[in-house]
Amino acid sequence: MDTLIDQYLAHLTLERGLAPNSLDSYASDLAEYADFLETHNIPDIRRVDTVAILGWLVHLEAKGLSPRSRARHLIAVRGFYRFLIQEKQADTNPLQRIDIPKTGSKLPQFLTCDQVGTLMEMPDRTTPRGLRNAAMLEVLYGAGLRVSELVNLKVEQIDLEACFVRIFGKGSKERIVPIGSLARERTQEWLEWGRPWLLKGHSSAYLFVARAGNPMTRQGFWKLLKKYAGAAGILATVSPHTLRHSFATHLLEGGADLRSVQTMLGHSDIATTQIYTHVSRQYLVDMHKQYHPRG
């Protein structure tokens, strides 16, 4: 079993180019599945039937796993069996008729344009760190980045003349995302005045540096964002992903097409992006109620 799992993980790495974090999730879920089979005296994966799979799902629910987590386990094991059939190690997929648990469509939280504008004014741009923080906020929101993409951004990845950033997202997939004039302006200020002062003679490939040229950590940026959101009077919990959601929502509200937003977010499946249409659709309903004479 362990050998087959290792072969499958190698397949995911080489053939599908899964990112390390995704591979870790697959490895963890499959290891837990293997432990379940061993505990229930099923040493041969070819002897697993639908009854055993249902027992495994009941086991996951009894552990307190959410529908989303159970769905992730199910997807991992289903893919594993597809691989086994492809490699002639199994004849059938016992999960073929098992439905994925419904996880619900939780709408992403986002800020209004006014809230974003207020938030962007919070950093003190008379200090080097304030210049850095202002630039980070503008680039995060202006390009809809994930926080990991922001803190790992290299100087060579941003082109201020052409106003775009080159991002290597999940699975090391590359995408080009435009940035606006304010993000360009704040980043230029940071590069000219703040960054040299913080580096103090050190060199660094990273665009946004902390001490001794090291990149800022995700946790460090999280704390800064929380502080600025509080200072801006924003009562809702604001995370880096909130700004990413705001980026997508504001683009759609402004008339951008879904495919363009999908490309800028780096979503491989447009279904992932479509959740934002629920938000922008509500915006249209609100606008209709407010401005239509019979709204």
**pLDDT tens per residue, range 32-61:** 999 999 888 887 877 788 778 888 888 888
- The encoded tokens of residue 44 equal 């041969």
Q: Which of 73, 146, 195, 250 is catalytic?
A: 146
For 1-14, what is the mean pLDDT? 88
Q: What is the pLDDT of residue 104?
A: 55
In whole angstroms, how far apart are CA 269 and each of 57, 77, 81, 112, 263? 27, 21, 23, 26, 10
Architecture of domain 113-291: Orthogonal Bundle (1.10)
Residue 197 confidence (pLDDT): 94
Q: What is the pLDDT of residue 172?
A: 72
Catalytic site residue 202? no
- How confident is the model over 96-120, as pLDDT tens digits? 777 766 655 556 789 999 999 999 9
What is the tens place of the pLDDT at every residue in 186-201?
999 999 999 999 999 8
Find tokens 């994925």 and name the residue. 100
259 catalytic? Reply is no
Predicted pLDDT of residue 188? 98
CA atoms within 13 A on the CB side of 206: 20
* Token pair listed for 284: 């249209």
Taking only the tens place, the pLDDT of each residue in 226-283 is: 999 999 999 988 999 999 999 998 998 888 888 889 999 998 777 778 777 767 766 6
Residue 26 has pLDDT above 80, yes or no: yes
Residue tagged active-site, from 11, 59, 154, 241: 241
Instruction: Specify the higher pLDDT residue, 31 or 255.
Output: 31
Active site residue 241: yes
Higher per-residue pLDDT: 145 or 66: 145
pLDDT at 210 over 70: yes
Distance CA 145, CA 243 (A): 8
Sequence-separated (6 or more) residues with CB below 8 Å from residue 155: 191, 205, 206, 207
Write out pLDDT tens, residues 133-165: 999 999 999 999 999 999 999 999 999 999 999
**Amino acid (1-letter code) at residue 87:** E
Fold of 2-86: DNA polymerase; domain 1 (1.10.150)
Instruction: Give the chain's mean pLDDT.
Output: 87
Neighbours of 28 (CB within 10 A): 13
Which pair of structure tokens corresponds to residue 110? Answer: 């986002």
Which listed residue (59, 154, 175, 267) is catalytic?
Answer: 267
Token readout for 211 is: 């001490």
DSSP secondary structure of 211-259: GGGPBPPHHHHHHHHHHHHHHTT--S---HHHHHHHHHHHHHHTT--HH
Concerning whether 250 is annotated as a catalytic residue, the answer is: no
Q: How many residues does the chain have?
A: 295
Q: Which of 8, 141, 228, 276 is catalytic?
A: 276
Q: What's the pLDDT at 283?
A: 67
Q: Which of 70, 244, 245, 250 is catalytic?
A: 244
Distances (CA, A) of 127 to 190, 201, 258: 10, 18, 39
Q: Mean per-residue pLDDT for 68-90?
A: 89
Among candidate residues 129, 170, 175, 226, the one labeled active-site is 170
Q: What is the pLDDT of residue 267?
A: 86
Confidence of residue 218 (pLDDT cuts 50, 70, 90): very high
- 244 as an active site residue: the answer is yes
φ, ψ of residue 253 in degrees (nearest 5): -65, -30
Q: Is the dihedral of CA 230, 235, 239, 240 positive or negative?
A: negative
Nearby residues of 8 by Cβ (< 8 Å), 6 or more positions away: 26, 30, 79, 80, 83, 84
Mean pLDDT across 198-212 = 92
Would you kindly state where each structural domain of the chain is located, as residue ranges?
A: 2-86, 113-291
Q: CA geometry: angle at 184 spanning 181 and 188, to 5°?
A: 140
CB-CB contact of 174 with 151 (8 Å): no
Residues 6+ apart with CB under 8 A from 84: 4, 8, 45, 90
∠ CA 203-204-206 to the nearest 5 degrees?
Answer: 160
Structure token pair of residue 62:
């009894």
